[in-house]
Amino acid sequence: MHPPISLIWFFLTAGVSIGLFNFTYFMEFLTLFGKNTAMPRQAVIISLVISLVLIGLGAIGASFHLGHKMRAWKAIKRFHTSWLSREAVFSGAYGFVLFLYGLAYYFNANLFIQHSLGILTFVLGWLSAFSTAMIYASNKFVLEWYTSLTVLYYLNMYLMLGSSAFLSLTYFYRPEFVPTYLFLTFLFVSLGLAFRIAFNIRQFIIPRPTINEALNLPHNRPIRVLDTGTTTNNYCTEEFYYKKGKDLLGSVLPVAYILTFIVPLFLILYAWITGNYNYNFFKIAFASLVLGSFLERWCFFVEGNHVQNLFYGLYPEEGYRLRKGYMERKKTVIRL
Amino acid sequence: MAQFALVIDLNTCVGCHACATNCKEWNTQAAFGPLSDFDPYGREPQGVWYNRIMTYEMGEFPNTQVFHLPKSCLHCQDSPCVPVCPTGASYKREQDGIVLVNYDDCIGCKLCSWSCPYGCREFDEADKVMKKCTLCIDRIYDESLPPEHRKPACVLTCPAKARFFGDIEDPNSEVYNVIKERNGFVLFSDAGTNPGNHYLPRTETKVHVDEHLLKHDNPLFLEVLRRHHVGG
Ligand code: SF4
Ligand code: SF4
Ligand code: SF4
């Protein structure tokens, strides 16, 4: 599949926003049970402003994916059937209620109002993340995505981004929580690595349809594509088969693995074991996570193979091997 | 419930692309037009087509058959492209089962095209909306046309008469009967989409390869040798 940069951008901004809010509010929430976990006022306000700005930037970025931005509001109409519609509703509501929560916190509104809004924001944020993940996980024609792993992995990435961002706040405002957030970041990044490996291994073992199934012809007849009717690519071949991406995947995927998982894990583990809480470590770990996640999402799209590619002979053959086994498209050169 | 659809005879389709061309001709100028072209006289001419013709070769040399597969929106009865549309721009008509896109509501999110297993939707970069075969709904209900012309443009133009059009749920229709009599089949029957458009299978032909065909100077013989060599 062709990776839409606007959607990767939305993933990163919404991910940091929802993830960061998740931990910021969680610390507030624990105070309800008499725990001394409240972050200083300044830290909470900084965190809320970052979350709000990011979700705003995310929405603006995501609108670049649309052909008609001014009609984006119409996306709320099919809430009962469309995950994209649900994503639009929940992410919009998350941003709005987050803003209200920010106001309530800033003006010290009564605790009941504050926490009601806080819990609502928390829930809406996760519903928005879940809906986004379901857009991919519910598409049964891209087998790489059509699994609950896609959802688990997606939500975990939000936690990963959120806990590593929150680490910086604890470093400056509540250093005694640094070990806790080191542990949480380590946990979520390790889980992310496990999910990613599982996601990649799964690609080898999923049973794939063949061109015979697509054409509904006997299984024992070999079928070859002779001609796809046009001399150049078209919307379908460009949207569902990104040749340049497929060629680059072998180089980008290892870099994505290193930046998203290996570098942060190493830095966090080092800080944790040595007790050397150098802020530069946390900064680099977070930057590496964000950059790595960008590449990781790019790979996620490129790794997706849409079954419509079968008609063009551009689907991985049975016995799929990573980066190999793609049928080359016949090159037609037109000389004028 | 009525389900209008096309039935295409794979025995008679000769892959002439006349249906695709006439489709583009009609739909570029009619109610659902235009179908934008990009760089039409350049090296990489691209454009929106509702109907594309693929050519496949089946079987093993020398017993192979070539067939052509015209493919446009199949107007699925359980169309997966409809529920995913966030705006309701994609919809399936109750009265005749035709799946359409309302261009005024489409936000161009492309999600419907991701959900079509057949690659039958195309995004028009000029209009920034999703487009697809309308079964020439603007022809088939046009009472100003003579009744025999109230058919999709592709059906009217097919020189091989390989295309049929009608209500596949109506036992009195030509399409219903031709599907029944000649074992009409659908693409990707496992996908759960229950397509309206059907194809009539090719009748088997046995090719008997005479020995003299495999003579030394016959290029086919060299091909056999090469394959044998590669295989062994
Ligand atoms: S016009 Fe008829 S024969 Fe020609 S490609 Fe179309 S269906 Fe086949
Ligand atoms: S062929 Fe594709 S676009 Fe047409 S109704 Fe079926 S799923 Fe939708
Ligand atoms: S591209 Fe248009 S028709 Fe397709 S899902 Fe999006 S809004 Fe609906």
Contact B52, A227 (CB under 8 A): no
Band (A335; pLDDT cuts 50, 70, 90): low
CB-ligand 1 contact for B16 (6 Å cutoff): yes
Is B46's CB within 8 Å of A234's CB? yes
Express as a percent the part of chain A with pLDDT over 70: 94
Nearest to A103 by CA among A88, A115, A92, A114: A114
Q: Tell me, what's the pLDDT at A34? A: 92
Sheet with strand B163-167: strands edge to edge? B163-167, B4-9, B198-200
**pLDDT over 90 at B1, yes or no:** no
Is A78's CB within 8 Å of B87's CB? yes
User: What is the distance in A from the centroid of ligand 3 to the CA of B49?
Assistant: 17
Q: Which of B10, B19, B157 to mutate to test the pocket of ligand 1 (most atoms within 8 A of CB)?
A: B19
- Residue of chain B whose Cα is closest to the Cα of A62: B109
**pLDDT over 80 at A116, yes or no:** yes
Q: Looking up tokens 């489709």, which residue turns up?
A: B23
Q: Which residues on adjacent β-strands are paired with residue B129?
A: B124
C-alpha angle with apex A178: A175 to A180, nearest 5 degrees? 135
Is A84's CB within 8 Å of B105's CB? no
**pLDDT over 60 at A323, yes or no:** no
Band (A224; pLDDT cuts 50, 70, 90): confident
Determine phi and psi for A273, rounding to 5 degrees: -70, -45
Q: Tell me, what's the pLDDT at A227? A: 86
Give the relative orientation of helices A243-257 and A279-303 as an angle to the nearest 10 degrees: 150
Determine phi and psi for B164, rounding to 5 degrees: -120, 155
Band (B64; pLDDT cuts 50, 70, 90): confident
Ligand nearest to the CA of B68: 1
Q: Tell me, what's the pLDDT at B230? A: 66
Q: Tell me, what's the pLDDT at B49? A: 95
Q: Tell me, what's the pLDDT at A319? A: 35
Q: Looking up tokens 């990489």, which residue turns up?
A: B44
User: What is the distance in A from the centroid of ligand 3 to the CA of B41?
Assistant: 30
Q: Tell me, what's the pLDDT at A328? A: 40
Band (B207; pLDDT cuts 50, 70, 90): low
CA dihedral A250, A252, A255, A261 (to 10 degrees): -100
Share the mean pLDDT of chain A: 91
Q: Which residues on adjacent β-strands are paired with residue B185?
A: B199
CB-ligand 1 contact for B18 (6 Å cutoff): yes
Q: Which residues of chain A does B128 touch, with a Cβ-Cβ cutoff of 8 Å?
A: 67-68
**pLDDT over 80 at B217, yes or no:** no
| Strand (E) or helix (H) holding A95 | helix A83-106
Q: What is the position in ligand 3's atom list of the atom closest to the CA of B87? A: 7
Q: Which residues of chain B does A210 touch, with a Cβ-Cβ cutoff of 8 Å?
A: none
Q: Looking up tokens 């990104």, which residue turns up?
A: A242
CB-ligand 1 contact for B152 (6 Å cutoff): no
Band (A148; pLDDT cuts 50, 70, 90): very high
**pLDDT over 80 at A191, yes or no:** yes
User: What is the distance in A from the centroid of ligand 1 to the CA of B208?
Assistant: 28
**pLDDT over 70 at A336, yes or no:** no
- Prediction pTM value: 0.90
ipTM: 0.90
Which whole number is the average pLDDT over B28-52?
Answer: 90
Q: Tell me, what's the pLDDT at B118? A: 96
Of the partner residues A230, A233, A239, the one whose CB lies closest to the CB of residue B52 = A230
> Cα–Cα distances in Å, from A250 out to A195, A238, A264, B50?
19, 19, 22, 35
Q: Tell me, what's the pLDDT at B219? A: 64
Which whole number is the average pLDDT over A116-129?
Answer: 98
Q: Tell me, what's the pLDDT at A316? A: 82
Alpha-carbon gap, residue B128 to B119, rounded angstroms: 18
Nearest to B69 by CA among B119, B131, B111, B32: B119
CB-ligand 2 contact for B120 (6 Å cutoff): yes
Band (B42; pLDDT cuts 50, 70, 90): confident
The string of pLDDT tens digits covering residues A303-317 is 999 999 999 888 886
The string of pLDDT tens digits covering residues B148-185 is 999 999 999 999 999 999 999 999 999 999 999 999 99
C-alpha angle with apex A148: A145 to A153, nearest 5 degrees? 80
Q: Tell me, what's the pLDDT at A180? A: 95
Of the partner residues B84, B107, B115, the one whose CB lies closest to the CB of residue A68 = B107
- The pair of structure tokens assigned to A248 is 């680059």
Length of chain A: 336
Which whole number is the average pLDDT over A56-69?
Answer: 94
Of the partner residues B111, B118, B186, the one whose CB lies closest to the CB of residue A84 = B111
Q: Tell me, what's the pLDDT at A270? A: 93
Of the partner residues B45, B107, B115, the one whose CB lies closest to the CB of residue A139 = B115
Which whole number is the average pLDDT over A37-63?
Answer: 96
